[in-house]
Structure 1
Amino acid sequence: MALLTVAGVTKVYGPLRALDGVDLEVHAGTFHGLIGPNGSGKSTLLKAIAGGHVPTTGRITFDGTDITTATPFQRSRSGLSLKFQITAVLAELSVYDNVLLALQSTEGYGALLRSRSRHRLHDDVMLALDRFRLADKADDLAGALSHGEQQWLEIAMALAPGPKLLLLDEPTGGMSPEERRVTGELLAPIKSECALVIVEHDLDFIKNICDRLTVLDQGKVLGTGTVAEIEGNSRVQEIYTRRV
C-alpha cells in the first residue's frame, strides 16, 4: 500500500483550475519529484497534500487515513512535514534553539511548562545539526548563516520530529552549484526512514536523487515514471522544449 495517495484531486479558483484530476502515489522509502513548467500546479499540489489548500474534489490518503480535510496540525501529528520554498528560520535565535523548538513542537504542554525537555532533547538536537553539517554552528544566530545553510537548517528542523513523509518546495533555490550538490548528499541518507516529495526546477538535481518523477502541465499529470521513462516520454520532451 502506498504511503501517500492523491486520487482525482482538483483545485478550482473561480475560472482557474489549478489542479485538474491529479493522481499520485508515493511509497515509503522512495523520493518522488514533481516537475513541470511555471504555473503547472506543483506548489498547489504540495500545499493540498500539506493542508494549506483543501481540494475542490478528490481524495488524499496518508498512511491509510483520509486526510483530505484534515488540518495542517493533524497532518503534522500523523507524520507529515513540510519545508516551504521561502526559508522561515527564526533569525534571532541560535541554530541550536531553532532545532530544539522543532523537537519541542511534539511535546505536551506539561513537559514544556516544566522546562524539562531541553536537556533531554540535547542529543537529538546535535544529531540533527551534525547530519546537516551545522553542529559547529550550533551557538550562532540562525540569521548569520549563509542562504544555503539556512535551507539546510530548515530541512533539519522539518526532519527532527521524525516524519514519515517530508515535502520540500524548491529547497535548492538560490543555492550555488556546490551547495546544490551537497544538499543532494545530505538528503540521500534519509530515504531509509522518511519518504520525500520534492518540487524542484533544477532537473539535474532532482533526477540525481529521485526514484520517480511526476510531470505536471496546466494542472494535469502529463506523465509519471522512473527518471529514464520520463526522459524518454515524447510528450514531456515537447512541453519542456516549448515552455521551460
Structure 2
Amino acid sequence: MALLEVRGVGKTFGGLKALEGVDVDVQSNTFHGLIGPNGSGKSTLLKAIAGAHFASTGTITFDGGDITRATPYERARAGLSLKFQITAVLPSLSVYDNVLIVLQTRETVWSLVRSRTRGALHDQVMEALERFRLADHADTLAGELSHGQQQWLEIAMALAPRPKLLLLDEPTGGMSPEERRVTGELLEPIRQWCALVIVEHDLDFIKDICDHLTVLQQGQVLQSGTVEEIERSDKVQEVYTTRV
C-alpha cells in the first residue's frame, strides 16, 4: 500500500472544474513531483491533500487511513506537513523561536504552563536548524534573513515535527540558481524518513530531486511515471511545447 493514495479526486469552484478524476500514488521515502502548465490544478491538488480545502469527489488515503474529510489539524497529527508557496515565518520572532513554536503546538497545555518545553525541545529545534544551515542564525530575527533563508526556515519548521509526508508548493520561488541547488541538497537526506510531494515550475530542479512525476493538464492526470518516462513522453512534450 502506498503512503498516500489519491483516487478519483475532483474539485469544483462554482461552475469551474479545477480537478477531475485525479489518481496519484506516493510511496514512502520517495520524492514525487507535480508538474504541468499554469492552471493545470497542481496547487489545487496539493491543497486538497493538505486539507486547505476538501475534495468535491473521490478519496484521499494517508498511511492507511481515510483523510478525505479530515481537518488540517487531524492530517498534521497523522504525520502530514505542508509549506505553502508564500513564506509564512513570524518575522518579529527569532529563527529559533519560529521552530520552537511549531514543536510546542504538539505539547500538552500543562507542559506549556509550567514552561518546560523550551529546554525539552532545544535539541529538536537545533537539529531542524542545522539541517537547513540556520543554526548560526538561531538568535537572528526571522525577518532579517534573506528570502532563500526564510524559505529554508519554513521548510525546517514543516519538518521539525518529523512528518511522514511533506507537501511543498514552489519552495524555490524567488531563489537564485545557487540557492535552488542548495535547496535540493538540503532536502535529499529527509527521504530516509519522510516522503515528499512537490509542486515546482523549475523543471530542472524537480527532475533532479524527484523519483516520480505526475503531469497535470486542465485538472486531469496526463501521465505519471519515472522522470525518465516523463522525459520520453511525446504527449508531455507536446503540452510543454504548446502551453508553457
Q: Per the shorter chain, which TM-score range?
A: over 0.9
Q: What are the superposed Cα offsets for residues 161-191 of structure 1, whole Å, 9 maximum, x if unpaired?
A: 0100000000000000000000000000000
Tell me how far apart the structure 1 counterparts of residues 105 and 213 of structure 2 sit (CA, whole Å). 32
Provide Cα deviations, 1:112-166, integer angstroms capped at 9, x if missing partner: 1111010011111111101100000000000000000000000000000010000
Amino acid at match of 1:223: Q
State how far apart, in whole Å, the 1-side matches of 2:241 and 2:92 are.
44
SS in 1 for 2:139: coil
**1:172 aligned partner:** 172
- Could you list the structure 1 runs, at least 4 aligned residues long, displaced by more than 3 angstroms after superposition: none
Distance in 2 (alpha carbons) for counterparts of 1:42 and 1:88: 20
**What are the equivalent positions in structure 2 for 1:31-180 lying under 5 Å apart?**
31-180=31-180
Per the TM alignment, residue 14 of structure 1 is displaced from its structure 2 partner at its CA by: 1.9
Give aligned pairs, total.
Answer: 244
- Which amino acid in structure 2 is aligned with residue 32 of structure 1? H
Distance 1:15 1:52 in 2: 20
Task: Give structure 2 stretches of 5+ with no counterpart.
Answer: none
Secondary structure, in 3 states, of the residue corresponding to 2:38? coil
Shift of the alpha carbon at 1:108?
Answer: 1.2
- State how far apart, in whole Å, the 2-side matches of 1:82 and 1:140 are: 24
Aligned partner letter, 1:128: A
Per-residue deviation at 1:40? 0.2
Q: Which amino acid in 1 is paired with 2:19? A: L
Cα-Cα RMSD: 0.5
Displacement after TM superposition at 1:13 (Å): 1.3
Instruction: Return the offset for 1:76.
Output: 0.3
- Tell me what 2:185 maps to: 185
Give 1:89's aligned amino acid.
V
CA distance in 1, matches of 2:105, 2:159: 12
SS of residue matched to 2:20? strand
